[in-house]
Amino acid sequence: MAASSVTQLTPGNHRYASLIPSLPTRPPSVLLLSSSGPLSSSPSSSSLSSSLASPRSLRVEFKTSWKRKPKPKALRVDCSAKEPLKVMISGAPASGKGTQCQMIVEKYGLVHISTGDLLRAEVSQGTEIGKKAKEYMDNGMLVPDDIVTDMVISRLSQRDVKEKGWLLDGFPRSPSQAQSLERIGIRPDIYIVLDVPDEILIDRCVGRRLDPATGKIYHLKYFPPETEEVSARLITRSDDTQEKVKSRLETHKRNAEAALPTYLDLLKRVDGNRPKEIIFEEIDSLLQQVYNAVNNKNLDEIKGKLVTNLKVTASNKDNWRGIPTRLNNIPHSKEIREYFYYDVLQATWKAVEDKRSRLKVEINIPELNPEMDVYRIGTLMELVRTLALSFADDGKRVKVCVQGSMGEGALAGMPLQLAGSRKILEFMDWGDHGAKGTFINIGSIGAREVDEQDDIFILVAPQNAVGNCIIDDLKAMTDAAGNRPVILVNPRLKDLPGSSGIMQTMGRDKRLEYAASFENCYCFRLLYYAGTQYPIMGALRMTYPYRYELFKRVDEPSGKEKYVVIATFPEKPTGDEINDAFQGKPRNKEKTTSGLWYLYGVEVRFGT
């Protein structure tokens, strides 16, 4: 049943709708549609490699110049999606908080900010703040908020903290301190609380001893001194008497519980009465989850700044804005190109996240259609770069592959469409953070190009040529890749004549079966009158995991245009189904030989 929804682009909600009006056209009595270029689809399900490289900050810059150092342009998008962690950790005295902080810093490289260290530095320097703080500390009391807050905020504003992230230890410990941070927009990604029973805490504190000669802390029960000489000079710290410990515990609990509501949505409680290694395993797992969540969200926000509301989420497809208008205006504007880049990107990400490993992107806007004289290899390279940098920005190692010469001797050659594309990839701008050569590498198609450290493979327009077939090299590569995702961008895998002029019939079924094993994660194809490439009559679009949508382009009296959804399909529609939808015929209606339909035939081509 044809859908009745309308996707309309208006100046109020779409920047592409205000271009020059198109000339009116007179529709023929019988509509015959042609889809430029091949289409194929076959579902495939495999598992995704879970190996990830260490996090790295990357920058994605969309530019149309392929010079090694292009000049900056007015519109520039920095996709440095890797945000450093911001962690708060709270725990009573002797809860093991210091030990866990040390282990966190060693693994994540965060700047450890301890209010105790900040205060002790002031005390040792004999500053006015230090003298006031010492009075409170010597009596087992907490230092007032206004003294501590200014020191903490000043430290958080320094450059190393902003670049590496921070681990805030022992702060905030009161509602007023928490609100002071909230007012200036300082908020953690996670708030960790170490829970230890009071009797254990008291035992840990009262048994502690200080070596005044070395500053080393011992414990009579858990960490006794090495020699009698060291034991003889140990002293009890002034704040480690049983009375002061109990007082500090009560004060800590009272203030910590009052500050908790500010971070209730970020709170994670960890049992601190276990071996330190077991405790850190749990904390490490929590930090990994938070790190991934924060950076995935940040990546989406950055992309959203370029194209507002572009992302099509699995739960809400209404965010998609519709098809840009005036697609026959060549060259395409930068905004239109980037619109499609991110349309492809979102669909590909969803498919990879759903563990689809044999994927295919088919997008034939005029600049990406090799059958049109406006084809631009640079647009294809920009699309590939967008995909590669996005996955690399997620910590994955990406291999971008372009097929080399096929055949031997005088018969060696490569498709004209790909001539020079390897050089373009080598010299194009891959950002300022060393992505190329580390997280992104350039290769050719074949099993030898598959390295153990590679996570994802993006293949640029793999295609057969007259006299040569890419299928064997392609299959060898996918076999070597195993369950790691292999993404074909605009493949052309249909069988072509052999060098002798005879169709390569041997093994043809196997080749076609292999070509069909790649699942469409994205498909966009413009539809024209049969045998023409103008005007655009409609479009076929599919983004994983949604259905195929058939749009009809409609000229409006104002001279503008819109795309109307006239049908949806669970699978890729045939040429007959497309024509039936445009003519308003019921589906599966038996065809007859009457009229012009059978005389002209249908030129919609599906297959590889």
Burial 380-395 (b: 16+ CB within 10 A, else e): bbbbbbbbbbbbbbbb
Terminal Cα-to-Cα distance of the chain (whole angstroms): 28
* Residues 90/173, Cβ–Cβ less than 8 Å: yes
d(CA 299, CA 313): 14
Q: What is the DSSP letter of 220?
A: T
Please tell me whether residue 592 adopts helix, strand or coil conformation: coil
Beta-carbon contacts of 489 under 8 Å, excluding residues fewer than 6 positions away, are: 361, 380, 383, 384, 387, 458, 459, 460, 461
Q: Dmax over Cα atoms in the chain, in whole Å?
A: 111
Q: DSSP readout, 399-444?
A: EEE----BSSGGG-B--GGGTTHHHHHHHS---SS--BTTTEEEE-
Q: What is the CA radius of gyration of the chain?
A: 32
d(CA 44, CA 544): 13
Residues with active-site annotation = 97, 173, 208, 237, 248
d(CA 126, CA 40): 77
Q: How many CA atoms lie within 13 A of 89 on its CB side?
A: 31
| Phi and psi at residue 416, to the nearest 5° | -60, -35
* Residues 245/93, Cβ–Cβ less than 8 Å: yes
* Residues 154/186, Cβ–Cβ less than 8 Å: no
